[in-house]
Amino acid sequence: MKYLLTALFAALLALPARADIEIEEVTSPGGITAWLVEEPSIPFVSLELRFRGGASLDLPGNRGAVNLMVGLLEEGAGERDARGFAEAAESIAASFSFDASDDAVSVSARFLKETQPEALALLRDALTAPRFDADALERVRAQVISGIRSDLKDPDSIASAAFDRMVFGDHPYGSAREGTEDSVAALTRDDLIDAHAGVLTRDRVYVAAAGDITGEELSALLDDLLGDLPATGRPQPADVAVTTEAGATVVPFDTPQSVALFGHEGIERDDPDFFAAYVMNQILGAGGFESRLMNEVREKRGLTYGVYSYLVPKDHAALYLGRVASANDRIAEAIDVIRAEWERLAAEGVSEEELAEAKTYLTGAYPLRFDGNGPIADILVGMQMDHLPLDYVETRNDKVAAVTLDDVSRVAERLLRPEALHFVVVGQPEGLEATPGQ
Amino acid sequence: MLRLLAVTAALLLAALPLRAEGINDLVTTFTLDNGMDVVVIEDHRAPVVVHMVWYRAGSADEPAGSSGVAHFLEHLLFKGTDTLAPGEFSKVVAANGGTDNAFTSYDYTGYFQRVAADRLGLMMQMEADRMVNLNLGPEDILTEREVIIEERNQRVENDPGALFREQRNAALYMNHRYGVPIIGWRHEMETLDLDAALAFYKRHYAPNNAILIVAGDTTPEEVRALAQEHYGPLPANPELGPRLRPQEPVQMSERRLTFRDARVAQPYVIRTYLAPERDPGAQETAAALVMLSEILGGGQTSVLNRKLQFEKQKAVYTSAFYSGVSLDDTSFGLVIVPSQGVSLQEAEDALDTAVAEFLEEGVDAEQLERIKFQLRAQQIYARDDVSQLARRYGAALTAELTVEDVQAWPDVLQAVTEDDILAAARMVFDRKNSVTGWLMSEETEVTQ
């Protein structure tokens, strides 16, 4: 009886491979563009903004300024202090979140249709007129420092910090965007004002909205929301080459399970072979329970709860990374298995069956992402950050479907480089040979 | 700044409410002849469905000595059945463009797939299959047991905050299985075997102990037809009895504990009180406790934030939490993460003072109105995420609440008065029912 159902399932593979959404591009009188999916069935709006550059625009010696500045945007703005701002947002059930990552400052807003003007007025204040009041500054600074201290004792954070330092050195990618306890302690109000003026500027902003709002409404509000921001700000950082050597760096930390971060150079988002690489990674380490890494490390050997690999095309460097965690006496074996899988795929490519399964999954899963105003606005702003065209949603699955076995073999040979695959291991790994020097 | 939320991340906050008008109209419920309850939540904006089966069986239903078996079994359900090879379930879901996973808690175990709407029947076919036809070999057991031990390593052993939580829960529940971790005590996990897993499976996995929830681009008619086809033929388990679990005795003594770990970067104080949960037809006290947790610890304008972060700089983070969806007694918690230079004793004292002052000063009517408005707004926002709505129903129904309770809950919340909140506070803040924990690094000074 076993496996009887397989044939039946195989017959069901034709998928509805289109996301049924219509994206409109609007431009304000002042020249700010935004992408929109109008969805009037629920009376609220999700709005997403991105400012390219993010925490990598920190000035030398000022590490953590952008992160702290972003953390203070809703802690007092315009005529309201921190509590006044929070009360005003709560009283209309609007929510705002502000976040700094390596390549962007992200702003997410969600507000009811019935209080849209009030919500946008609050958001405008936060973006254009943050107060950086002394008491709020000290309160948030203490929270950031508390987080920095926690990161110093968190295995995953320790691994990321060591990997980034090794690969990126003095480039902004090489240090934690939160800064160090000392650098954050030294930040002044002027540093934050300066970071605000240099980072939240009109020349680098991307806007997307989804929900109960028309194109006309959206284009009319953009100038009011963002028009008071400076036209331009700090230059973007330089590109940086990723160089690694095969081996392992051990960061001793007294904890029962070792965490390993591994990887080497990756592939740019606009590389002609990006889709081939994306499909290849689905087979190697991105797919839930189906990937080769999960199958070999977890399902067959029980060495971990989870192992993943992922492409990280950043604005100024491209990485191919992975993560695994295993008990201290088993991590060496997990690493051996991962290395072997890296070599096997680089040398042998993938099978027809694996390729077909990965493509079916990826094309079938894509339309499932568009299942709410929040996710749609997020996808739309991400597309703009990646310089993708307005019709990308309609062509994306064709690009995945077009990937051939030859494409995967070619990209596997180029992308997977066992001679550069480096592991940073945090814990007390047993039987693992560390590579000196790196 | 939400950085420090990890302190309470593992304790789910109160489920967001639903309102009688609007959101309840999306929901249809019925029961199959074999006793399987069905909830359908319609959202036709995208051609997607979430298909879930929830069992009224969680870690608190495990036999003593087999902690972790509910969660272990959840993993094993992805191994073979009579007709599916190990791993084939997820492979088929993926081959259809879907994703799948499962989750285990104290009161339930749930399985779900998110997939294109026209694959619903296939999901039901496979989920019905593994409800009764699980076929496990000894190999599956041994490898998967290593996986769950690595999962425990990742979630608990590598995280001093999680170890601390286990110790506190064990102290809070003197008799109830809520004091035993969902993932299991390590020494018992290491002994879990095929017999333990199958015994739990045979006892609890049956249509009359399960709830089917389908949310997304479907209709009640379609779900009814497909459910009857796939789940309808499964026999009910006639031996399924009521869920009688050991209950807490009257607690007579406050408990205090300290937990030291070199990996702690940020010490904190957390106190949990035993608290009543939402009961069928009687949700008023729980609603008042939800409001109390919001007023004390719900965000920037909360009482604890104001007193301990704004007026006095005693804390970098404060919170209050309460989860009313629970089959048996739940807990109400208070957290303070002290500022640099503030000792844990000072922090705890400041927390107690703030709560005492609140009981004297009473509820700020404007704050209460803001919270109620936000809860009403949640009825609108919640419609954007029917998967979340589906989980709310699943958690409530497996805690023996009814669909009527779930649908009445928003109105019960709106009816809470300032007096109700103060009465609930005086009732719940009884130190005899509490555990106070101090999480410390090796260096943290106990006294000033």
Mean pLDDT of chain A: 94
B294 is catalytic: no
Quick check: is A361 in a domain?
A: yes
Mark whether A261 and A379 lie in a shared domain: yes
Query: Taking residues A115-132, what's their average pLDDT?
Result: 98
Mark whether A287 and A258 lie in a shared domain: yes
Against a cut of 0.90, is the pTM above it?
Answer: yes
Mark whether A327 and A178 lie in a shared domain: no
pLDDT the model gives residue B445: 64
Chosen domain end from A196, A226, A256: A226
- Nearby residues of A272 by Cβ (< 8 Å), 6 or more positions away: none
3-state class (DSSP) for residue B215:
strand
pLDDT digits (tens, 9 = 90+) for B230-262: 999 999 999 998 998 999 999 999 999 999 999
Quick check: is A240 in a domain?
A: no
Q: Quick check: B82 and B137 in contact, CB under 8 A?
A: no
pLDDT the model gives residue B446: 57
pLDDT digits (tens, 9 = 90+) for B62-119: 999 999 999 999 999 999 999 999 889 999 999 899 999 999 999 999 999 999 999 9
Q: Quick check: A368 and B46 in contact, CB under 8 A?
A: yes
CATH, residue A38 = 3.30.830.10
Residue B50 pairs in a beta bridge with: B114, B215
pLDDT digits (tens, 9 = 90+) for B194-223: 999 999 999 999 999 999 999 999 999 999
Element (H, E) at A260: strand A257-265
Work out how many domains chain A is built from and give that number. Answer: 2
Which residues of B fall within a CB distance of 8 Å from A15? 96-97, 116
The DSSP result for A46-68, as a single string, is EEEEEEETGGGGPPTT-TTHHHH
Q: Quick check: B437 and B269 in contact, CB under 8 A?
A: yes
Chosen domain end from A176, A192, A226: A226
Chosen domain end from A226, A255, A283: A226
Nearest to A178 by CA among A190, A164, A166, A197: A164
Query: Taking residues A248-267, what's their average pLDDT?
Result: 98
Quick check: is A236 in a domain?
A: no
Mark whether A310 and A215 lie in a shared domain: no
User: B22: nearest CA in chain A?
Assistant: A42
Asked which of A288-292, A299-303, A311-315, B82-86 is least confident by mean pLDDT, the reply is A288-292
pLDDT for B361 beyond 80: yes
CA distance A87 to B285: 26
Quick check: is A232 in a domain?
A: no
Mark whether A144 and A279 lie in a shared domain: no
CA distance A323 to A302: 16
pLDDT digits (tens, 9 = 90+) for B382-422: 999 989 999 999 999 999 999 999 999 999 999 999 999 99
pLDDT the model gives residue B198: 96
Q: Quick check: A283 and A292 in contact, CB under 8 A?
A: yes
Neighbours of B279 (CB within 10 A): 17
pLDDT the model gives residue B241: 86
Confidence of residue B138 (pLDDT cuts 50, 70, 90): confident
Mark whether A73 and A222 lie in a shared domain: yes
Mark whether A272 and A410 lie in a shared domain: yes
Pick the residue of A3, A5, A37, A81 with the most B CBs within 10 A to test the interface with B by mutation.
A5
Q: Quick check: A82 and A136 in contact, CB under 8 A?
A: yes
Confidence of residue A3 (pLDDT cuts 50, 70, 90): very low
Quick check: is A42 in a domain?
A: yes
Mark whether A48 and A130 lie in a shared domain: yes
Q: What residue has token string 């640099």? A: B340
Q: B281-311 b/e with 16+ CB inside 10 Å = b?
A: eebbbbbbbbbbbbbbbbbbbbbbbbbbbbe
Mark whether A169 and A64 lie in a shared domain: yes
Which residues of A fall within a CB distance of 8 Å from B306? 83
**Shortest CA gap B83–chain A (Å):** 4
pLDDT over 90 percentage in chain B: 87
Mark whether A168 and A253 lie in a shared domain: no
Which residues of A fall within a CB distance of 8 Å from B130? none
pLDDT for A239 beyond 60: yes
Quick check: is A437 in a domain?
A: no
Q: ipTM score of the complex? A: 0.92
Tokens of A86: 């929070």
Rounded to the nearest 10 degrees, what angle do helices B120-132 and B220-230 cross at?
40
Quick check: is A89 in a domain?
A: yes
pLDDT for B15 beyond 60: no
Quick check: is A231 in a domain?
A: no
pLDDT the model gives residue A2: 36
pLDDT the model gives residue A436: 61
Mark whether A264 and A184 lie in a shared domain: no
Please indicate if any CB of chain B lies within 8 Å of the CB of A6: yes
Q: Quick check: A45 and A212 in contact, CB under 8 A?
A: yes
Please indicate if any CB of chain B lies within 8 Å of the CB of A287: yes
Mark whether A84 and A119 lie in a shared domain: yes
Query: Taking residues B261-269, what's their average pLDDT?
Result: 96
pLDDT the model gives residue B184: 98
Which domain range does residue A310 map to? 247-427
